[in-house]
C-alpha cells in the first residue's frame, strides 16, 4: 500500500511538471524582470519636516509656534542654513488634521554636505517626515538603462531555459514598469540607499523553441 502511494505521488508530480512545461513553452513562453541600477549625478535631496507642539513636553501656552520657528532658525544658522532656504506649507499641515498648532517645512539641495547639515539640525517640536531624492532621466541615460535591463533579462531567461532543457526564442514583448523622462523620478533615501540608487525594470517575455 505504501509503495502504491509513493508511485501515485511521483506520477502526479511528473504530470504536473510536464503540464507546466507544456504551458510555458506553447502559451506563455518565459517571462522575466530585467533590472538595471542608476545613480544620478545631479540628485536633488528633498526632506519634509513638521514643527509642532505635538512633539514637545511643553504645556499649552508655554511656547508659541512663532517661538519654535525662531529656535529652529537659530539651530539651522549654526549649521550655515536658514528657514529662508526652506518652503513652509502651513495649509498642508492644517489639512493633515493635527490637533496641535504647527507647520510643515521642505528643504531642497543638490549638496550632500548641506543635506547632512540639515539632517543633523534638531530643535524642540521637530519631526522628520520624509527623505527623498529626485532626478530626471535624459534620453541617453534611459537608453543605457534599457540596454542593461534587456541584457539582464536575457541572462535570466537563458538560465531558465537551460534549467528546463529548452531553447530560448525571440522576444515576444517588452514592458517598462517605471520609466519616466518628463516627470521627476522620486526615490526614498534610507540607511541602505543613501546614494538614491534607482532600479529600472523591464518585463520581458521570450518565446521558446520546440
pLDDT digits (tens, 9 = 90+) for 10-69: 434 443 343 333 333 435 699 999 999 999 999 999 999 999 987 666 666 678 899 999
Determine the average pLDDT of the residues in 156-169: 94
Burial class for 150, CB neighbours closer than 10 Å (0-12, 13-18, 19+): middle
In this prediction the pTM is 0.73
- Res 15: pLDDT: 38
Section 125-136 average pLDDT: 92
Q: Which domains does the chain have, with CATH numbers?
A: 2-40+137-209 (3.30.110.170), 47-131 (no CATH)
Determine the number of helices (DSSP H) and then strands (DSSP E) in the chain: 5, 8
Q: Which of the four pLDDT bands, split at 50, 70 and 90, describes residue 153?
A: very high
Per-residue pLDDT tens over the stretch 81-103: 999 999 999 999 999 888 888 99
**Distance between CA atoms of residues 153 and 160, nearest Å:** 11
Amino acid at each position: 500500500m505504501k509503495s502504491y502511494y509513493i508511485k501515485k505521488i511521483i506520477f502526479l508530480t511528473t504530470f504536473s511538471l510536464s503540464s507546466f512545461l507544456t504551458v510555458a513553452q506553447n502559451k506563455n513562453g518565459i517571462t522575466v524582470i530585467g533590472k538595471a541600477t542608476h545613480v544620478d549625478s545631479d540628485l536633488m535631496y528633498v526632506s519634509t519636516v513638521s514643527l509642532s507642539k505635538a512633539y514637545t513636553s511643553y504645556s499649552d501656552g508655554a511656547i508659541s509656534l512663532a517661538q519654535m520657528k525662531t529656535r529652529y532658525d537659530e539651530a539651522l544658522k549654526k549649521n550655515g542654513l536658514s528657514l529662508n532656504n526652506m518652503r513652509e506649507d502651513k495649509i498642508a499641515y492644517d489639512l493633515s488634521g493635527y490637533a496641535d498648532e504647527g507647520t510643515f517645512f521642505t528643504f531642497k539641495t543638490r549638496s550632500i554636505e548641506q543635506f547632512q547639515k540639515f539632517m543633523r539640525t534638531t530643535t524642540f517640536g521637530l519631526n522628520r517626515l520624509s527623505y527623498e531624492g529626485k532626478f530626471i532621466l535624459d534620453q541617453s541615460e534611459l537608453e543605457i538603462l534599457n540596454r542593461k535591463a534587456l541584457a539582464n533579462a536575457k541572462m535570466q531567461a537563458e538560465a531558465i531555459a537551460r534549467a528546463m532543457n529548452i531553447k530560448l526564442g525571440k522576444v515576444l514583448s517588452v514592458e517598462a514598469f517605471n520609466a519616466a523622462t518628463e516627470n521627476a523620478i522620486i526615490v526614498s533615501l534610507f540607511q541602505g540607499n543613501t546614494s538614491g540608487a534607482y532600479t529600472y525594470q523591464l518585463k520581458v517575455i521570450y518565446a521558446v523553441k520546440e
